[in-house]
Amino acid sequence: MTIAGTTPSTRAEVLDALRRGERFVLVTHENPDGDALGSLVAMQSVMRALGKDSLMFIGRDEFPLPYEYAFFEFDDLITEVPPDVLERTIVFLDCGNFDRNAVDIGDATIVNLDHHHDNTHFGTINHVDPAASCTAEIVWDLMRGLDVPLTPRIAEALYVGLVTDTGRFMYENTGPAAHVMAADLIEAGVDVHEIYRRLYEGVPEPKLALLTRALQRVQRFDGGRLTLARLTREDFAETGAEESYTEGIIDHLRAVQGTKVAALARELTGAEAAGRSKVSLRATDGAVDVSLIARAQSGGGHRQAAGFATSMGPDELVAFLRQEVAAQLDA
């Protein structure tokens, strides 16, 4: 199966680069989510099956990972950039953009595998498919192109990427290929209920307390088309919640009748991040492209799910969001 939206030539180029290369390092974005980690773990297993010298990089400051992903087992994990990185092919998974100026990677070959429609095509080879439900779907396709057999381990990692990035098969990005892929993974031994339990149950109590606070603080604007909640540093401190516990809160905001755009703003808790907030955005239908709003603040994402960081205060943020939503809906 060729994934819609990518040209056969970039797929062939990637397959060729993966077959020919001998040493690789696999990387993903910061604050890695289920798709980032699942794609990374699956790709590492694929590279090992091909007999490659492949390392998987996750920065030291990403640990501990969010509790729902703590079950992942990482083979050949490195938390520091390897000294020979420039001699390795660097495979980026699920990264919409990459600041080449921030990290010196010289002339290293970069393979860019992603599904963000606003991917900046920063790689040497860019295999970017916005029609793919998740990066795991792209890895699944490449695995087949490389004739690597699907093991239970690969299947489980890919399934985590698939189920998290599609909102359990309910977001708009869930195409036929996502379900064909799910069938393939389940046939290979994925225990669907067990993965559901790991990802969505076992919620720490502070996470519930944080959700309670967010729901108490819902604000609606312009007839309800903008639904917003804010979480402060005090909320995190007083509930004992970690930053990653905000995961899923925005789905409650998005679900409110009449909402076109849902926004969750949370103050960053790190000492160096004082006064800065992270804003997550979700669109409920095709009427608003939230990636445009995020990009106006140097963020990015998908049409229906995007985010940005900002130093704007609460009032300024509300004014900005109302104006951006109006610019798209009232044009």
C-beta of 134 vs 182, nearer to Mn ion: 134
- Which of 94, 118, 141, 267 contacts Mn ion by CB under 5 A? 94
CB of 291 to Mn ion, least distance (A): 13
CB of 316 to Mn ion, least distance (A): 30
- Stretch in the footprint of Mn ion (CB under 5 A) among 69-77, 88-96, 146-154, 209-217: 88-96
CB of 222 to Mn ion, least distance (A): 30
* # residues near Mn ion by CB under 5 A: 5
Residue 118 touching Mn ion (CB under 5 A) = no
C-beta of 35 vs 118, nearer to Mn ion: 35
C-beta of 21 vs 307, nearer to Mn ion: 307
- Stretch in the footprint of Mn ion (CB under 5 A) among 12-20, 117-125, 157-165, 216-224: 157-165
Query: What residue is closest to Mn ion based on CB?
Result: 35
CB of 52 to Mn ion, least distance (A): 23
Residue 289 touching Mn ion (CB under 5 A) = no
CB of 86 to Mn ion, least distance (A): 27
3-class secondary structure per residue, the chain: CCCCCCCHHHHHHHHHHHHHCCEEEEEECCCCCHHHHHHHHHHHHHHHHCCCEEEEECCHHHCCCCHHHCCCCCCCEECCCCCCHHHCEEEEECCCCCCCCCCCCCCCCEEEEECCCCCCCCCCEEEECCCCCCHHHHHHHHHHHCCCCCCHHHHHHHHHHHHHHCCCCCCCCCCHHHHHHHHHHHHCCCCHHHHHHHHHCCCCHHHHHHHHHHHHCCEEEHHHCEEEEEECHHHHHHHCCCHHHHCCHHHHHHCCCCCCEEEEEEECCCHHHCCCEEEEEEECCCCCCHHHHHHCCCCEECCCEEEEEECCCHHHHHHHHHHHHHHHHCC
| Cβ-count burial 140-163 (b if 16+ within 10 Å, e if not) | bbbbebeebebbebbbbbbbbbbb
Residue 165 touching Mn ion (CB under 5 A) = yes
- Which of 17, 26, 32, 35 contacts Mn ion by CB under 5 A? 35
- Stretch in the footprint of Mn ion (CB under 5 A) among 31-39, 141-149, 175-183, 231-239: 31-39
Residue 267 touching Mn ion (CB under 5 A) = no
Q: Which two tokens stand for residue 163?
A: 């189920």
CB of 27 to Mn ion, least distance (A): 14
CB of 96 to Mn ion, least distance (A): 9
CB of 116 to Mn ion, least distance (A): 7
C-beta of 21 vs 301, nearer to Mn ion: 301
Q: Which amino acid makes up residue 137?
A: E
Query: How does strand 261-267 pair with strand 277-283?
Result: antiparallel
C-beta of 23 vs 117, nearer to Mn ion: 117
Give me the residues that bind Mn ion (CB under 5 A), please: 35, 94, 134-135, 165
